Structure 1
Amino acid sequence: MAGSALADGVRSLSQDEMVETYIQDSAIVVSPRRDRQTRTIEETRARAIRALVRPGEPIRTEADETQTVMDMQRHRMESLEQAQNFAEQEFIRQALTSPADQLQGLQPQIDTSLPQPVIPGYGTPDIPEGPFTRSYENGQLGLSFDGDTLNFSMGNNPPGVGAIDLPRGIDEGPVKLTPRAGGGFDLSIDVPQQ
C-alpha cells in the first residue's frame, strides 16, 4: 500500500484502509494491512508511514513588506495626531479654568518628528532646514540645496557603479541634466517656492 500510495500520489482510502489509519501526535499513521496480526507492535511502528499535516507558511512578497511598513507609519501618524488633538483639548480645558498668568506653563510641548532611519555605510541622515552641501564617496556623489535649486552630482567612477555616459543633456522646465566630460552628470531641479 505504501509503495502504491507514493507512486500514484494522493488517492482515496477504502473502508478497510481507514480502519488501518489513525492520527497520533499530529501525524497520520498508515499501517500496511498484510500480515498485520503476525507482526509485533515494534515491527508495525517501523513499517508505519508518518506524515505531518499542518498549514504551510505564507509567502511574503516585497509588496507585502512595503504595505506592512506603510501601515505601521500610517498608524504611528494617526497616533501622533490623536495625541496632539487630546493635548490641544486638555490645554483648552485647563486654559478655561486657570488664571491668565499660568497659561504659558500649561501649553503642552509635543515632538511629532519621526525617527530618521539608519542608512548602511552612512549612519543617520542629517536633514537640515536650510541650504546645505554634502559630498560622499570621495566626492563622487554630491547633494546640495541653495534655497532655490536642489543639485545632485554623480562622478565618473563611484564605487560599485559602472561608467555613466550620457549622450546629451536635458533642459526642460525646472529640470536640468548636464553630462560631464569623462562620465557622470549633474542634475539640477528648481524647487518651487510655496
Structure 2
Amino acid sequence: MRSENSPDVFISLAGLAASLFATAALAQSYPAKPIRLIVPFAAGGGNDNVARLVGKHLSESLGQPLVIDNRPGAGGALGAELAAKSAPDGYTLFLGGVGSHAVNPNLNDSLPYDPIRDFAPVALLAQAPLVLVVHPSVPAASFKAFVALARARPGQLNYASNGNGSSSHLAAVMFDSMTGVDMVHVPYKG
C-alpha cells in the first residue's frame, strides 16, 4: 500500500504544479498588442466613421490601440482579400458589409476570398438607409415629379454613389429599372 507521502505522489504533484505554472506563463491575456481593423472603403466616408467610433470604444475597453487600415477598391474586395489572408490570431478585424459579402460574390465568380469560409460574423455595427436627395434648384419637389423629370431628360441627370457595385450604385440601377429612367452613374471612391 502506498503512503500519501510517497515520492511518486510528490513527483506527480510537482509535475502538475509545474505544468500549471508553465501554462499560465505561456498564456497571454488578449489583446497583448494593437488590433488592426481593415475598412474596405476610403477614409472619411460613412464606414470609416463607424470604424473610428467603434475603434475608439474598443481601444478603451481592451486597453490596446485599434488601428484603422483603410483599403478601398473593387467594391470592398481588396480589403476583404487582405483580411481573409491575415493570420487567424484575433488581431485583424474586418468591417465587412453588403458589398464584400453579398454583392461581390454575386457579381464576380473569381473572388480571392470566400465570404462564408474565410469570415466569422461577430456583430452588426450599423445600418444605414439609402435616401434620394436632389439639389434645391432641381425642379422636382416630390418623388413623382423627380421621376417625371428624369424620364423627360434621359441620360442628362447624374447620380453619385460610393463606388461601382456598392449598395448605393445597385439601388440606383434598380431605381432606373423600376421607374424607366436613364441616369448617369458617377462613382466616388468611398
Alignment TM-score > 0.5, same fold: no
Compute the TM-score of the two structures, normalised by the length of structure 1.
Answer: 0.19
Q: If each structure's strand is expressed as a fraction of its own residues, which one has the higher value?
A: 1
Q: Greater helix percent: which structure?
A: 2
Q: Which has the higher contact order (CA 8 A, sep 6+)?
A: 2
> Larger radius of gyration, structure 1 or 2?
1
